[in-house]
Amino acid sequence: MATDAALPPNTPEPLTPPPPGGVLVWRFIRRYAKRYLGLYALGIGFLLATNGLTVLIPRLIKEVFDGLGEGHADVNSYARLIGVAALGVIVVRTLSRVLFFNPGRTIEFRVRNDMLRKLLAMSTTFFGRVGIGDLVSRAINDATYVRSIVGFAVLNLLNLAMATTMAIWQMLEIDPWLTLWCCLPLIASTWIMRVGISWMYTRMRAAQEELGQLSTHILQSYGGVAVISASGAQPAFTTKFDALNARYTDLSLQVAAVRCFVMPVARAVGSVCVFLLLWIGGQHTLAGDLTVGDLAAYASFVGMLVSALAMAGWLLNALQRGYVSLQRVWQVLQLSSDRPAGLVALPTTDEGVAVQVSGLSFGYAPGSTVLTDVSLDLAPGKTLGVYGPVGSGKSTLIRLISGLLSPTPGTVTLDGVDVADIAPASFRRDVAVVPQESFLFSRSLRDNIAFAEKADTIDELRVAQVTEQAALGDDISRLDDGLMTLVGERGLMLSGGQRQRAQIARALYTDARLMILDDVLSAVDHDTERRLLDALRAHRKAGASTIIVSSRLSALVDCDEIIVLDEGRITQRGDHDALVAEGGLYAAAWAVQRESKGSPP
């Protein structure tokens, strides 16, 4: 039996692998970071100044201690110099961070916009193959980690190189032999951290992929929560959630365990270096090879190295996680639209769109069939009704006519133009689709109705007109802020019927030449239904064509033609009176609905 599933099971499908490491980084720099090289160069200058002043302070401390030992130190003068240097460090360090972090924020903004642009160019079929939750995770979590590369990671990588070089240079000037001894534990700890971070990389990538799968499962569960509750399937969904969550938690704990081992290495190494400084450096001081000031300055330089090493751990973590995220983000950025590249514009006219479907057959997967040999003609300005039981192929037919799915070339035409050849802008101008599942954005009701318009070009009079036509006027009058009421995410502040009527108002606002309603009258009472049908009838008199899919037959009574779908085939066609007289599926449904409480006589 055919099924009218909107899409095949939402099983995550791997995207095209990104290019190799060096190529990927270069392409990213060329596309996003190249324009900010001037700011980065200025930031590097301030970073050099930061480290220069940081090195200067221990040199001043050395002069203070040596002067005190000789009894001629001007402590106040040196204290003022140290204070000025410390204040300078604060200023130039802040400026260096601004110059590195701000481009990172801008790049993150551009990356997310580009990801959205790529995803908006993909077909409905694509989102059936790729996990929605995984795409959300890439756009939110991974884009943030990419920002950490171009901001935090680049800044600290350069800072690490500068601070380490300057500190070791100063230490070598004071005592090369002592420097060698202090560097040995630093080198050993660097190797340990390198091995640990490498091990973390694989777990971190697996954890991010697991998070994407977990997000997909959560979104699917939220989207079908009514069906899950009605069918008592909560245990199955909870069990799967627990399994995915357990895998993600386990991987996260493995990463945390390595981090808890690797990060304290820097502190332990710092203690070892201080011990070596006091042991070996103290002997050199007693022997007269080092002054007390040299020892104090040396301790400050060791502190700089230890801090740099501790930062290296976080830096490697950010680089590893950021590179994994860059790979995942780039998989989205390199997507090519799988929609037909339509270039033909539909004619600009006040007349409705002519729809022709010829021998249309369609299945979501090889070997499956949802629609079989469907043919119909809708003349401009006429109304077509579509009826059929659940799973008969109604929504699939609508998606094929509206271009959300790709039919076999030549089987679906609008005004004589194959749907695959119609330019997207022309489709948006001339075809308005009101789907079964209403979707409103977390904006005002006014903005949702005039969604296709920019805020400064919204026709307020038109908005008021279509809200009345969509039977929303009384509801709006009861809202505290009227049309400016924020409806919440997915319109949660409105009832199901109000959301559907808001969608109808949105479609009416576009003044499209073809309006398609996919069973959107199910959540309204019969009086409201009649008002909506009157509005649609007026819209049709203005020249528009209309396709109404409805399981409530009272919505189809005035249609010029009605087709009855059953198991993907058209089994009956005609106007309401003819179908009732003919008997069969339509007549039986009409008889039942007439006898139901609240149905029209």
Note the pLDDT of residue 399.
Answer: 87
Give pLDDT tens digits for 57-73. 888 877 777 776 666 66
> Which residue blocks in 121-153 are alpha helix, DSSP H?
124-129, 132-137, 143-148
Instruction: Supply the pLDDT for residue 12.
Output: 46
Give the model confidence (pLDDT) of 34-45 as tens digits. 899 888 899 899
**pLDDT of 539:** 64
Nearest residue to 50 (alpha-carbon basis) of 104, 98, 6? 98
pLDDT at residue 258 greater than cutoff 80:
no
The whole-number pLDDT of residue 201 equals: 66
Rounded distance between C-alpha atoms, residue 287 and residue 282, angstroms: 9
SS (H, E, C) 467-534: HHHCCCHHHHHCCCCHHHCECCHHHCCCCHHHHHHHHHHHHHHHCCCEEEEECCCCCCCHHHHHHHHH
Considering 10-14, 195-199, 323-327, the range whose residues carry the highest mean pLDDT is 323-327
Structure tokens at 532: 């909506």
pLDDT at 14: 63
The rounded distance, in Å, linking the Cα atoms of 271 and 288 is 25
DSSP 441: -
| Spatial separation of the C-alpha atoms in residues 149 and 159, rounded to whole Å | 14
Two tokens at 399?
């998606």
The overall average pLDDT reported for the chain is 79
pLDDT at residue 231 is higher than 80: no
Identify the structural domains of the chain with CATH numbers, from first to last: 21-333 (1.20.1560.10), 360-595 (3.40.50.300)
CB 354 within 8 A of CB 346: no
pLDDT at 183 over 80: no
Q: Are strands 561-566 and 383-387 parallel, antiparallel or unpaired?
A: parallel
Q: What is the mean pLDDT of residues 141-152?
A: 86
- Residue 223's pLDDT is what? 66
Candidates 152, 324, 313; CA nearest to 251 is: 324
Structure tokens at 65: 């201690």
Highest mean pLDDT among 96-110, 513-527, 579-593: 96-110
**Residue 542 confidence class, pLDDT cut points 50, 70, 90:** low
8 Å CB contact between 346 and 415: yes
Question: Where is 386: in which H helix or E strand?
Answer: strand 383-387
Q: What is the arithmetic mean of pLDDT over 350-374?
A: 85
In the predicted structure, residue 475 carries a pLDDT above the cut 80: no
- The reported pTM is 0.66
Over residues 212-230, the mean pLDDT reads: 74
pLDDT band at residue 268 using 50, 70 and 90 as cut-offs: confident
Question: Within a 10 A sphere around the Cβ of 30, how many other Cβ atoms?
Answer: 10
pLDDT of res. 601: 42
Task: Determine the residue type at 498.
Answer: Q
Residue 598 has pLDDT above 60, yes or no: no
pLDDT band with cut points at 50, 70 and 90 for residue 540: low
Give the pLDDT mean for 567-580.
Answer: 88
Average pLDDT on 358-362 reads 89
